[in-house]
Structure 1
């Protein structure tokens, strides 16, 4: 997305598009992602440095005939050519027109919201077949990209499935996702990195939610104006997000599912009970759909048996904040002063809320820092919850099997004062109790060569550092400042051993 009209976190996508355009052969590209992640912004601004001639058309949710007429009108205005709609009665003839456009520059043709060119799946398949027929016509070699884009994730993905007329035609298929905490911080660029983290926890990584954030104002002012006010811009965007997703029916049930998960119901039966729906295949399909759209995440603890049920949480921070902090007090917000509600209700609960958000940030940071710090490769990021032999509950913030068969474990703290050695002692004690309880992976995690990762937003005492580094061959100690170090300084995150 952008700050001062510059793109953020799309360097890899732009580089790939430029390489494809430089091949001097026509290339077909498929790009999709849920609404408001910045597809349109990217596809309209990716070509400034390559001198390409670009044609861009956005289809609308109307009939195929009206979309075809609108596309021809847009093409005529862009090209300066006289175009008579009666000469282009089929999609094949329209695609031939586009592909036959004469240009002395590299040519980029983008049809956004491509799914609207067909009124249903069968109809869209026919449109894809028409494009395939036009694409197969022999033409002189030239630098040309034909990009199909859209927000109907499942529908766009199906264009490259086996059996689709365009199967195997795409030189590149990619999905745009929301920003991680780091790139969200480039938009919500508060001087205090804690405020950057809090902004990520509240507004998430969707560029459209981050765009109105004004980092020259206090974070509280942004939250009050954009989220707590009854007409707050971001609040309305989050509330209507599901309505904007094509193909979702029974929106009220999807909302009920998100409310249930956001309210702490994390297993399937709890979600069904809280949402007031049957615990059946229909509910499972709806949860899977929310996972596909990056609103919900499913996970199981390390070492889970194949039949152990998944646990679900709201993965989009903006959605999580809305359903955790805002939805329960909507009636209050409609009748009472939003600033008073911030001061008396929201601000006091924010640090508690940020604990789980910070755990997600650490996962993102690990992958971001892996190459720079030479971190061990993770098979699967995870955490662990369960009981020991005495049925005492245990929680481990980090429990990750590594590619080299070791196990990375550790703790994550959203603290303000430096954590002391008791956090390290407690962690080692939990590992010993898990070994005693016969938890298989704990034996590998307890080996001297298995690494430890501790992340404490407010840092560590000297006693903690001495005890942790003396206990293992490989120990990583990160603060919140380390998570926000620029790329060229990422190596400053502490790795000892």
Structure 2
């Protein structure tokens, strides 16, 4: 399968390598990039693709844990088999420790052309004392950065990778951070061959995880995809969430309880505590903070002209959200080969589930699309709600969040196959606007099936939104 998407990240990597090439002959031409992102998001595949395209000598080392092998032995063996010049020195002179290994590595890096050194799954080499970080920092400062090398450090543990560059840690300010997210709707459309509306549905189901997207057959509708994948007990759609949760929370049963409560649809602190078994405030706060720090859960406040404490929580990964709602609680029926029951359950709950799950993706799309159709670009695109949920506004564009000085536009999302945005929907949006402000702020609609009313400042369709994710003309197509 051709490599799809990631044009922005590939351009960043290209620019880094070009900067190194332009710095050859200076005292410190080397650069370091620190790449982090959720497990199975495609970090290693991105860097492997870039390494192949760049055609520079490189070594790609992936640390492992739990296999009874010495990481230093594996590193030396990997370097010896790499495309670096004089790599065979690692078979002739085996380093006795990491300090010696990195010094020996620096000695074989070219001085007159760029090269790459990739350390994948770096957190497996790190510990609380920061010992490996100190070794890496000394090697970088004294030897590695003096060669025209692009050092790429990759990790899935977001908290540990963030700590790597935090103040007081040895590698502070040594590298530029780069975060890899899921494939976007345009990438999913390119991989699946779907039209814009169906591509958004596929994005919600797969979460943009490349390993799941790759299973989508060209032009296949979502129900055929679900029926086929859920009938396969080893499908990535079933097992990816299990593997990720086991890796993220090996000993955090409380965090798993809270995550399941949020995944079941609970959004407020009180309701999450109740759904998680009546957790105490302190215990729940600790678990929620852990989930937020790992980037798995988002804690959001409504955007309005006055402060609010009505925080809402949601799972950031739509695939994990789907799994926790429809798959995780019913794994035994999948084990009994009754995937038909699971698919029927998804059919019954799909419209309601999708209506909520699509909202953050649409807001993100608008933030990338605007200005368009007379609607200005704004620093913040979010939503508004009250404590009792008697007023909910799907889209709020403002000069800042969560307490805005000025509101730019309000909007409603109607994401149904055969129901356009009509005058009834417009009246509801107008009534809710008066609860937020007395100003005649422009009203917009984001709709899957168009609009039957003309009294809107703008209407955005799936085709409009997916255009926000397309690469610029100088990059070419979404498949690169």
Counterpart of 1:8 (choices 6, 9, 15) is 6
Shift of 1:155: 1.1
1:184-223 map, 5 Å: 184-190=188-194, 192-223=195-226
Match of 1:83, SS state, is helix
Please tell me whether residue 110 in structure 1 is matched to residue 118 in structure 2. yes
Please tell me whether residue 234 in structure 1 is matched to residue 225 in structure 2. no
Please tell me whether residue 145 in structure 1 is matched to residue 144 in structure 2. no
Q: 1:235 to 1:143 in 2, by over 3 A?
A: same
Equivalence for 2:460: 478
Match of 1:281, SS state, is helix
Shift of 1:372: 6.5
Q: Is the 8 A contact 1:378 1:401 kept in 2?
A: yes
Structure 2 Cα separation of the partners of residues 385 and 6 of structure 1: 38
Please tell me whether residue 295 in structure 1 is matched to residue 330 in structure 2. no
Equivalence for 1:428: 430
Q: 1:64 to 1:277 in 2, by over 3 A?
A: farther
Structure 2 Cα separation of the partners of residues 183 and 374 of structure 1: 27
Equivalence for 1:71: 75
Q: Is the 8 A contact 1:302 1:382 kept in 2?
A: yes
Counterpart of 1:160 (choices 159, 165, 180) is 165
Match of 1:183, SS state, is helix
Encode CA deviations 1:10-49: one digit per residue, 9 max, x unaligned: 3343334334433330112211112111110111111344
Counterpart of 2:442 (choices 427, 436, 451) is 451
TM-score normalized by structure 2? 0.85
Encode CA deviations 1:330-383: one digit per residue, 9 max, x unaligned: 4444446424652x4322432222212232221121122126768523343222
Q: 1:155 to 1:384 in 2, by over 3 A?
A: same
Match of 2:178, SS state, is strand
Structure 2 Cα separation of the partners of residues 368 and 208 of structure 1: 25
Q: Is the 8 A contact 1:184 1:204 kept in 2?
A: no
Structure 1 Cα separation of the partners of residues 42 and 352 of structure 2: 31
Equivalence for 1:37: 41
Match of 1:313, SS state, is strand
Q: Is the 8 A contact 1:277 1:283 kept in 2?
A: no
Q: Is the 8 A contact 2:383 2:393 kept in 1?
A: yes
Equivalence for 2:368: 368
Shift of 1:228: 5.5
Equivalence for 1:57: 61
Structure 2 Cα separation of the partners of residues 200 and 176 of structure 1: 16
Shift of 1:409: 0.5
Q: Is the 8 A contact 2:57 2:116 kept in 1?
A: yes
Encode CA deviations 1:170-194: one digit per residue, 9 max, x unaligned: 2x1112122333333333332x333
CA RMSD, 1 decimal? 3.0
Q: 1:20 to 1:349 in 2, by over 3 A?
A: same
Please tell me whether residue 83 in structure 1 is matched to residue 84 in structure 2. no
1:116-131 map, 5 Å: 116-118=124-126, 120-122=127-129, 125-131=130-136
Gaps of 5+ in 1: 469-474, 491-497
Q: Is the 8 A contact 1:243 1:251 kept in 2?
A: no
Shift of 1:111: 0.9
Shift of 1:299: 0.9
Structure 2 Cα separation of the partners of residues 112 and 477 of structure 1: 44
Q: 1:430 to 1:116 in 2, by over 3 A?
A: closer
Q: 1:185 to 1:7 in 2, by over 3 A?
A: closer
Shift of 1:286: 2.3
Q: 1:144 to 1:373 in 2, by over 3 A?
A: farther
Q: 1:138 to 1:214 in 2, by over 3 A?
A: closer
Structure 2 Cα separation of the partners of residues 301 and 347 of structure 1: 31
1:334-345 map, 5 Å: 334-335=335-336, 337-339=338-340, 341-342=342-343, 344-345=344-345
Match of 1:35, SS state, is coil
How many residues align? The count is: 457
Encode CA deviations 1:251-270: one digit per residue, 9 max, x unaligned: 43333222211222212232
Deviates more, 1:373-382 or 1:317-326: 373-382
Gaps of 5+ in 2: 474-480
Q: Is the 8 A contact 2:376 2:408 kept in 1?
A: no
Higher relative contact order (CA 8 A, sep 6+): 2
